[in-house]
Amino acid sequence: MANKLSQYYAPTLKEAPKDADILSAKLMLRAGLIRKTASGIYEWLPLGMRVFRKVENIVREELDKIGAQEIILPAVQPKELWEQTGRWEEYGKELLRFEDRKKAGFCFSPTAEEVITNCIKRDVKSYKQLPVVLYQFCIKFRDEIRPRFGVMRSREFYMKDAYSFCETEKSAEEWYKKFFEAYNSIFTRCGLKFKAVEAESGNIGGSFSHEFMVVAKTGENAIEECVECGYLASDEKAGKKCPKCGGKYKSTRGIEVGHTFKLGTKYSESMNAKFLDKDQKPHPFIMGCYGIGITRVVAAAIEQNNDENGIIWTKELSPFDIHLITISEDEKVLAQANLLIKEAEAKGLTVLWDDRDKQAGMKFKEADLLGLYNRIVISPKTLKEDSLEYKARDSKDATMWKLSNVKTKLNDLT
């Protein structure tokens, strides 16, 4: 069943709220994808949720493909675990701490190295059980000093975090590469232009890391790219010259959507998480961790792809495949719309039908704002030519499809 816009919860706004400070946030609010509950805390409405789920499913498929296994870890985590690694103190004010009714200390998870290391320590005793590679999707909370840019730098956000536990350096390296490649597949499948750059490890620590950046002029992060060999580094890491060839850098900007870390034994040592090798000798697990900000990916996709009229979804992330506009309540128009929906859905295409009794101009404007990848118009005028009108959101020109040809044309949209 097609979703009718007349009954769909997508409350659009003519103007963005005054405190929206970046284009993607303005568009997400105007198109009814999100609403703000409090500083850095948002509600996700149905249209936003559909994109969110698409990103999540792409991530899940690619991680399942490399053999990672999905779990869920607690969002509320005990203080004792964070004390073992010293991060209860170290993490600073971004860590939201509180007490339960018995005065026991807890925090709302900003990341989950402590909990997962404790989990593995409990059950994995031998090298024969390794490697163990797990991931979860979960709401994270970081009490950011300056929440801004809508869901791009929020306090509550939805993240995929993954952790690898290995016996040897070599195996840890192999898993790092698998994740690196999975991340490449994920952002490629999302239809985004991105770069993987060498970076500092920050609050998570460890020896080595890469940031995945969605390329956008308004991005918070500076990326340095060697003009000679194409080597990429974050500006904090870049130095004056390319470490690979001595070439000069040119700068671009990006939005960090994913981060891979080689952790080594930082957490397993401090938490005394060890396995026994072939000779019954204990060793700390060699760890890696890998994050993707699902909610930030949605905002970054909009920041990268938009025009003066609204969002331009990539084919892969479009909340519905087709935005169908009918003009007039004419019986023939409605019959044709129902037929189109049936044929589209038979091919697995999803349809949002603007069935509302509103002016054509307004409907077109809203279609541009919502930014679905394909737009189809059926009106008495198009039917007079035995046609309907098709337009891709990212192209200027509409084309007419003969009704007799619609089935074939729909194939091109799948």
Ligand X SMILES: Nc1ncnc2c1ncn2[C@@H]1O[C@H](COP(=O)(O)OP(=O)(O)OP(=O)(O)O)[C@@H](O)[C@H]1O
Helix axes 294-304, 23-30, angle to 10 degrees: 100
**Listed ranges 58-66, 252-260, 302-310, 324-332: which one lies at the site for ligand X (CB under 6 A):** 252-260
Residues 45/9, Cβ–Cβ less than 8 Å: yes
Q: Which of ligand X, Zn ion, none is residue 228 near (CB under 5 to 8 Å by kind)?
A: Zn ion
Does 393 sit near ligand X (CB under 6 A)? no
Q: Pick from 17, 46, 67, 202 the residue near ligand X by CB under 6 A.
A: 202
Helix axes 406-413, 331-346, angle to 10 degrees: 50
Beta carbon of residue 250, minimum distance to Zn ion (angstroms, whole number): 11
Beta carbon of residue 44, minimum distance to ligand X (angstroms, whole number): 13
Does 56 sit near Zn ion (CB under 5 A)? no
Q: Which of ligand X, Zn ion, none is residue 154 near (CB under 5 to 8 Å by kind)?
A: ligand X
**Listed ranges 66-74, 222-230, 316-324, 332-340: which one lies at the site for Zn ion (CB under 5 A):** 222-230
Indicate the residue type of 404: S
Which residues from 290-349 bind ligand X, rule CB under 6 A? 291, 293, 295-296
Counting residues that bind ligand X (by CB under 6 A) gives 17
Does 275 sit near Zn ion (CB under 5 A)? no
Does 142 sit near ligand X (CB under 6 A)? yes
Beta carbon of residue 233, minimum distance to Zn ion (angstroms, whole number): 10
Counts of helices then strands in the chain (DSSP H, E): 13, 24
Is residue 86 classed exposed, middle or buried when 0-12, 13-18 and 19+ CB atoms within 10 A define those classes?
A: exposed
Run of H or E residues at 49:
helix 46-66
Cα dist. 173→13, 184, 188, 287 in Å? 49, 17, 23, 10
Beta carbon of residue 153, minimum distance to ligand X (angstroms, whole number): 5
Neighbours of 35 (CB within 10 A): 15
Question: How far is residue 41's CA from residue 19's CA, in Å, rounded to a whole number?
Answer: 14
Does 197 sit near ligand X (CB under 6 A)? no
Beta carbon of residue 94, minimum distance to ligand X (angstroms, whole number): 8
**In degrees rounded to 5, what are phi and psi of residue 334?**
-65, -40
Q: Which of Zn ion, ligand X, none is residue 145 near (CB under 5 to 8 Å by kind)?
A: none
Contact positions vs ligand X (CB under 6 A): 111, 142, 144, 153-154, 157, 159, 202, 204, 256-259, 291, 293, 295-296
